[in-house]
Amino acid sequence: MAAPDVRATQAAAAIRHHYDVGNDFFGLWLDPSLTYSCALRHAPEDTLEVAQQQKLRYHLDAIRADDATSVLDIGCGWGSVLGLLSGTRGVQRSVGLTLSDEQAAFIRSKHHLGVEVHTQNWTHFEPGTRFDGIISIGAFEHFATPEESAAEKIGLYREFFTRCRDWLSDDGALSLQTIAYANMSRDQASEFIQQSIFPDADLPTLAEITAAADGVFEVQSVSNGRLDYAWTCEQWAHRLRQRRAEAVELVGPEVTARYERYLKLSALGFRMGKICLLRLVLRPYRTSYFRSAR
């Protein structure tokens, strides 16, 4: 099992390989909020913009953001959650963690009230005070490496859950969204995506997640949005094709082709059920619960 500092260095390099291609490139094919994760469709006529806002509201509602004074976003991307926490939800303090310098600079340029962003791995984060809610969208799948065994992955995930529990207030919640293996093993995963798109990253399984959370968090709800993610990837691919000339001018033909292939393969994987998209709401087990039940 890789040492924590080595794993953190590998994770940072992998994230920068993917996300520091350039904000302008992603801006060509993401929605205006630069939300780079699975959208949530309620109706066939939903646009990508609408579906992404519905996804963000889902996670904010899951942690009861309207009643929160402090929220942590682990893997905050370009800050779509942080912007809503500061704006429409009026949260006094919102903290984002990212490993991408490009993303951190973009968030800081927005000057959101009460928002701070750290280019830091969760393994090194020491908040000092507790949060009323934690949101993590699209980061969990980057935590483990392909070299780690299932037992080592569960141990790493358990460390994450334990830290989140300790960072939460007594009635706080964690809203987690992650891609996961479904009807496919690690050995069957696309070598192209593992090596060219998300190097040094290995997906979890639902069984590994629940085993890691056992006794730390109560899983209050879990859903599989794989068809939502297939549709989201198809929407992104369509937008990228429409603006391919601009993309090539920004990042070159090879990078553009790499992302086109990645989005096509990802959509296919979700449609076939090889990979899935898990949304989980978790609340921490507290010793006070057991004392009050006596």
Top pLDDT among 151 and 290 is at 151
SS3 88: coil
Percent of the chain's residues with pLDDT above 70: 86
Residue 95 lies in a domain: yes
Residue 16 has pLDDT above 90, yes or no: no
Residue 69 lies in a domain: yes
Tens of pLDDT along 139-180? 999 999 888 999 999 999 999 999 999 999 999 999 999 999
pLDDT at 286: 75
- Average pLDDT of 283-289? 74
pLDDT at 15: 45
Q: CA 280 → CA 56, 118, 223, distances in Å?
A: 14, 24, 7
pLDDT at 193: 53
pLDDT at 208: 97
Residue 159 lies in a domain: yes
CA atoms within 13 A on the CB side of 221: 13
pLDDT at 195: 58
Tens of pLDDT along 234-270? 999 999 999 999 999 999 999 999 999 999 999 999 9
Query: What is the rounded distance in angstroms from the CA atom of residue 57 to the CA atom of residue 65?
Result: 9
Count the Cβ atoms, other than its own, within 10 Å of residue 18: 17
Residue 59 lies in a domain: yes
Q: What is the CATH number of the domain that holds 95?
A: 3.40.50.150
- Average pLDDT of 185-191? 68
Grade residue 5 by pLDDT with cuts at 50, 70 and 90: low
Residue with tokens 């682990």: 74
Tens of pLDDT along 94-113? 999 999 888 999 999 999 99
Q: What is the mean pLDDT of the chain?
A: 89
Tens of pLDDT along 22-78? 889 999 999 999 999 999 999 999 999 999 999 999 999 999 999 999 999 999 999
Q: Which domain holds residue 73?
A: 4-229+275-284
Residue 191 has pLDDT above 80, yes or no: no
pLDDT at 4: 55
pLDDT at 21: 73
Grade residue 289 by pLDDT with cuts at 50, 70 and 90: very low
- Secondary element (H or E) of residue 222: strand 217-224
Residue 47 lies in a domain: yes
Query: What is the rounded distance in angstroms from the CA atom of residue 28 to the CA atom of residue 195?
Result: 24
Residue 248 lies in a domain: no
pLDDT at 22: 84
pLDDT at 82: 98
Question: What's the number of domains the chain is made of?
Answer: 1
What strand order describes the sheet that includes 131-137? 115-119, 93-98, 70-74, 131-137, 168-181, 275-284, 217-224
- Average pLDDT of 186-204? 67
Residue 277 has pLDDT above 80, yes or no: yes
Residue 243 lies in a domain: no
Residue 284 has pLDDT above 90, yes or no: yes
Residue 108 lies in a domain: yes
Tens of pLDDT along 215-241? 999 999 999 999 999 999 999 999 999
- Average pLDDT of 122-142? 96
Residue with tokens 């989005």: 263
